[in-house]
Structure 1
C-alpha cells in the first residue's frame, strides 16, 4: 500500500519496491504545487511522473499612468487670415479658438459630453469619439482597485488578472508595494521574493540547501529533493524516475535494497 502523503516510506527486505510519490502535500510546499488557480496560470513543466520544475514567480505587467492618455486643447490667438470652421457648430470662428484632436473649436463649444464643462483648461480625455473632462472620465472608465474597491486615477497595477492601486498591491508580510517586481502567491496572498523564501522556502533533504525557483526537484519519502540529490545512499546512483527501496528514510537502488545503512 502506498504511503500517505507527507509520511516517510519504509520498505523491508522482500517487499515490492516503490516509486516516488508524485503529489505529497505538506503545507510548506511551493504555491504552484498546492494552489490550483496558481498552477493553472503558471503550470510547471513535467519531465516524468516524479520530477517537476519550479515555476518562475509571477510578474506584474508594466504599470500604466493615467497622465499618459490625458490630452490638452491648444489655444490659438485671433489673427488676420485665420477663419477656421468650428468642428462642432460648423460655423466660422472669428477670434480666439481651440485646436484639439486635429480640429478647431469655439472655446465655449469644446465641452465634456457628460457635464458640459468647458475644456479650454485642465486637459481632457477622448474615448470612442467622445470628449470627457477628467472627473467624468474617471467616473465612467477608470478601473477599480481589487483591494480597496476605489477608482484608480493614477498609476495602475495589473496583476492576477485584476487592477490595483500601486500602494494596495503589497507583500503580505512586509507590506512593501510590489510594483514591477516578481512575487509569489501563498494561500491567496502575494509575497515578495525575500519574504516568501524566508517563510515558505523548501530545503532539499539530500543536501540541506534551499530549492530555488527554477530548480528541478522531486517529492519522495515525504521530503523534497533536488533531482540530482535523489540518489542511492550506498552507490550514489541517481534514482530520478526510477524504482527505489527505502530504509531509515534513505533511498536505495535495487542492488543495495538489502544493504545496511
Structure 2
C-alpha cells in the first residue's frame, strides 16, 4: 500500500520534496503558513513572507526595506531612530532638522542628551547656571529672582532677605511688617510670643500684639466692672471726661436704669439717673 507522504495541514497538498514550516506541531506549505501566520507590512500592506525579516515596533510590523527614515529613506532596522508625529526619523536627521535648541547657548540637543526644563524653556545641563556665580545648577535647588535663576548658596548669601528676629535668610515665604522681613515662625506677639503669621493682630508702639494681649494690656478699662472695653464685634462704649463704661455697665447705681442717651449725675464716684440723684441730694 503506497503512502502520499506528509500533507499541508491547511490545503492538504503533498509536502513531499517541498519546503514546509511547523506551527503547533502541524506542517504547513509556505503559502498556507504565510497566509495564516505572517503579518502584513504596516507600510506597503503586503505580507512579510518567510524569506523576509519582520521588523516590529509597538505591535506594528514592517518589511526590513520598508522600515526607513521618513527624511532620508535610509533603513532603520539596525540603527537608532525616534518617532516624531507618527513618522520614523533616524538620529542624524533628527539632530539636523528637529532637535530643540538650548535657550542659553542656542545649540541643538543631540539625541540622548540630558536637558533641563524650566519656565517652558530647555537648557543643556551645563548651560543651566546660577546668574550670580555662573556655576551649573543641575538638579540642585535654585531660586528665580530678578529675571534670573540663582543657586541656593548665592541666593541666601547675596539676595535673600534676612529675618530681623533671627538674622537667618528667608528662603521661601515670610512676613513683612513695617518694611521688616520675618520668617513666619519668627513673627510673634510681643506680649505672649504666639505666632502671628496667620492670625489677626494689631500694633502698639510699632510692636505687633495678638488681639488678646492688646486688649489686656492697652484697652481702656470699664469704670464699673474694670474689664477691658474692646469695641470688638461692634461693641460700643460710653465716655465721660477720662472715664469709660461698657454700655451695659452704664446704669444708675440705685435703680439700674440704663443711662445711655439719658441725663445722669456723678455722685460718690458712681452714676445715677436724675431722679435717684435728686433723692440722694434731698436726703
Of 200, 208, 220, 1:182 maps to 200
Q: Which residue of 2 aligns with 1:17?
A: none
State the partner residue of 2:154.
136
Query: Which position in structure 1 is the counterpart of 2:144?
Result: 126
Query: Structure 2, unaligned stretches of length 5 or more?
Result: 1-80, 83-90
Q: TM-score, normalised by structure 1?
A: 0.56
Matches within 5 A, 1:159-170: 159-160=177-178, 162-170=180-188
- CA distance in 1: counterparts of 2:255 and 2:205, whole angstroms: 40
1:105 aligns with 2:92: no
Deviation at 1:245, TM superposition (A): 2.4
Aligned-partner Cα distance in 2 for 1:121–1:169: 32
Corresponding residue for residue 73 of structure 2: none
- Total equivalences in the alignment: 184
**TM-score scaled by length of structure 2:** 0.52
How far residue 243 of structure 1 moved from its aligned partner, in angstroms, is: 4.9
Larger helix fraction of residues: 2
- Kept after mapping to 1: 8 A contact 2:216/2:228: no
User: For the Cα contact (< 8 Å) 1:168–1:177, is it kept in 2?
Assistant: yes
State the shift of 1:196 in Å: 4.7
Gap runs ≥5 in structure 1: 1-77
Indicate the structure (1 or 2) with the bigger Cα radius of gyration.
2
State the alpha-carbon separation in 2 of the partners of residues 164 and 241 from structure 1: 47
1:171 aligned to 2:189?
yes
The two structures, once aligned, show a CA RMSD in angstroms of 3.3
CA change 1:90–1:186 in 2 (3 A) is closer
SS in 2 for 1:147: coil
Cα shift at 1:91: 1.7
Residue of structure 2 equivalent to 1:224: 244
Q: Kindly tell me: are residues 171 and 136 of structure 1, through their superposed partners in 2, closer, same or farther at Cα, counting changes over 3 Å?
A: same
Per-residue Cα deviation, 1:105-153 (whole angstroms, up to 9, x for no partner): 1211111111101011213223343222223334454223233454322
In structure 1, C-alpha distance between the alignment counterparts of 2:279 and 2:161, rounded to whole Å: 65
Deviations 1:40-72 (A, max 9, x none): xxxxxxxxxxxxxxxxxxxxxxxxxxxxxxxxx
**Counterpart residue number, 1:89:** 105
Find out whether 1:246 has 2:266 as its counterpart. Answer: yes
- Deviation of the 1:224 alpha carbon: 2.8
**RCO greater where, 1 or 2, for CA within 8 Å and sep 6 or more?**
1
